[in-house]
Structure 1
Amino acid sequence: MRAFIFPGQGSQSVGMGKALADASTVAREVFQEVDEALGQHLFRVMCEGPESDLTLTENAQPAIMANAIATLRVMEKEGGIRLADKADFVAGHSLGEYTALCAAQALDLSTAARLLKLRGRAMQAAVPVGEGAMAALLGADIEKAQALADAAAEGEICTVANDNDPTQVVISGHRGAIERAVAMVKDHGIKRGVLLPVSAPFHCPLMQPAADAMAQALAQAEMRGPLVPVYANVLAAPIAAPDDIRARLVEQVTGRVRWRESVMAMFDAGVTEFVELGGKVLGPMVKRSAPDATVTSIITMDDIEAALAGF
């Protein structure tokens, strides 16, 4: 069995999508549709930067989605494959869940782009700059990370945001609590704590205003049943009913990204091959969680051709 997986924020880079668009009319059409949906020249920012504009949450989220969907569309239209024939499940990391839903045709491309633009803006606006922070805990499993977060909170928000793999967990919350946690890592048997260069504390209760904004937007968004089940971040389990998907996407804004558990659940369900489209961030996490799985990252036209030959 095979799962198609889609990366989250942090996988963006200036120049993303340019070679694909130069080589494929199909890719160019995806980027053009996203630009039109958003009423901005996002693809120009993707190609030319500046990096500071691309890393803005409201730009990075739709850009990462567009790049992955362009990769998939080239495979589908030029390679003659159907996602439903080649993938048993789809999943994405944080914003990548929207990409997965678009890939599985639960959301159309324009709707996914507009939702992610709004999501990025709402997440940025939820907490004043400087009040929140996130940190990666290296050499930490979920138990050690939770114990550290509890010890560092001291009445503030400090919670596990991303359970990425058995060796990497991300915490999120008030800046003071996160800084205390980083200073305390050695006491909890954790190798390192690294503050992340993010502009807001994602996936923690401080994001409730953004969750409220997404609840309103998702209630009005057209959603269809996906071609294949989507593993929800907050459940680490497959879902397919549109109202269930909406509810889980709202919960995801403040809830934990249970990526390690999602990978293991897919592996236990029989998935032996994970294919990451539009990035190479998730592959190493998958290998650390499920060492016996096969992982492929598809970014370039050469990657696409090699993958098509192997399917």
Structure 2
Amino acid sequence: MSFALVFSGQGMQHPAMLPWLAPDDALVRLTCAQLEVADWRTSLEDSGWAACNRHAQCLLTGLGLAAWQQLATDLPSPAAIAGYSVGELAAFSAAGVFDAATALALARDRAEAMDRCATHTPGGLLAVSGLAMSLLEPLCHATGVAVAIRNGVDSAVIGGPHAALARAESQALQHHAHCTRLKVHVASHTPWMQTAADGFAQTLAPLPLQRPRSPLFSNAADRILDAAQAKAALAAQIAQTVRWDECMDNLAARGVRCVLEVGPGQALARIWNQRYPDIPARACDDFRSAAAVVAWVRSHA
């Protein structure tokens, strides 16, 4: 049995996500305690609370790991693991680099470092599709933004200060691209986050991380083989382009038979199916029970 495990990033969180997730799970309770909320689903009904960087990063890390722990008892180890943006914290934990409690603490520290950085240069992210990278990259240079995430040949996320992002959106629309503002209030994965990346590197430096137990791939590097590489990659991706296109290629090169996305929405599964139509991908949000998720993976892997 061979499957890849990928963890979603923020922006798609919603109150009905992961409908089968056990509410009395210890990690779910720990996540709620860190966020100081009684019920995360009720909290997500408040759009302002849901869009808060600290809330989203902690919630997705904790719930992603809780969901995977509930599935892992009935599935073998993945052939490859990766996470999208903040999803890397859950991915690295699932691969054995650090435990779930450490992942939650790191999610809080990561978000706070990024929020502090954003107070000096407020910004955001814009998803752009239907525009080739050969056109998007010079557009970014001309308007003063940067490519934050590469998803495919004509699909990316750009980021930067608000005024520059508005200029970039206007020019992209003139090229008949499709543009969507993301529910993120920081210019993640761009040079404007370098101070946050440096601060997070200092947070990671003293931690006794472990080498991955499963093949683990990074947004900022390639395969992660030891603790030193893990620390460098987790810090670097805050201010560098997320190379999700290359990350998917690395997963496919492992010969996986299917891909399971853990987290809210179906964005990663959709991107994967467009790139690799012969290797099916599904998201945990598609299913009404953990047993159904396990059955799908077993039937395809």
TM over 0.5: yes
Task: Indicate conservation of the 8 Å contact 2:5/2:80, yes or no.
Answer: yes
Three-state SS of the structure 1 residue aligned to 2:5 is strand
Q: Percent identity?
A: 25
Aligned partners of 1:196, 1:160: CA distance in 2, in Å?
Answer: 14
**Once the two structures are superposed, what CA deviation does each residue of 1:129-166 show, in whole Å capped at 9, x if it has no partner?**
8732321112123222212101222xxxx110011223
Query: Residues 144, 190 of structure 1: CA spacing in aligned structure 2 closer, same or farther, 3 A cutoff?
Result: farther
Deviation at 1:305?
4.2
Q: Does 1:289 align with 2:275?
A: yes
1:45 matched to which residue of 2? Answer: 40
Deviation at 1:234?
1.2
Q: Does 1:181 align with 2:168?
A: yes
- Structure 2 stretches lacking a partner, 5+ long: none
Deviation at 1:128?
2.4
Match of residue 112, structure 1, among 87, 93, 103: 103
C-alpha RMSD of matched pairs (Å): 2.2
Amino acid in the other structure paired with 1:201: A
Stretch deviating more after TM superposition (255-264 or 138-147): 138-147
2:215 matched to which residue of 1? Answer: 229
2:259 matched to which residue of 1? Answer: 274
Alignment of 1:293-308 (within 5 A): 293-299=279-285, 300-301=288-289, 302-307=291-296
Highest RCO, 1 vs 2 (Cα 8 Å, sep ≥ 6): 2
Aligned partners of 2:213, 2:234: CA distance in 1, in Å?
Answer: 18
Alignment of 1:1-311 (within 5 A): 1-17=2-18, 19-22=20-23, 28-36=25-33, 38=34, 40-42=35-37, 44-49=39-44, 50-77=46-73, 79=74, 81-83=75-77, 87-128=78-119, 131-153=122-144, 158-186=145-173, 189-235=175-221, 237-279=222-264, 280-299=266-285, 300-301=288-289, 302-307=291-296, 309-310=298-299
Deviation at 1:177?
1.8
Deviation at 1:269?
3.9
Deviation at 1:47?
4.1
Amino acid in the other structure paired with 1:135: L
Task: Indicate conservation of the 8 Å contact 1:104/1:227, yes or no.
Answer: yes
Aligned partners of 2:62, 2:47: CA distance in 1, in Å?
Answer: 17
Aligned partners of 2:66, 2:38: CA distance in 1, in Å?
Answer: 12
TM-score, normalising length: structure 2: 0.89
Stretch deviating more after TM superposition (103-112 or 269-278): 269-278
TM-score, normalising length: structure 1: 0.86
**Once the two structures are superposed, what CA deviation does each residue of 1:209-233 show, in whole Å capped at 9, x if it has no partner?**
2112211111122311111121110
Provide the aligned length of Structure 1 versus Structure 2.
294
Task: Indicate conservation of the 8 Å contact 2:32/2:39, yes or no.
Answer: no
Three-state SS of the structure 1 residue aligned to 2:85 is coil
Aligned partners of 1:11, 1:133: CA distance in 2, in Å?
Answer: 15
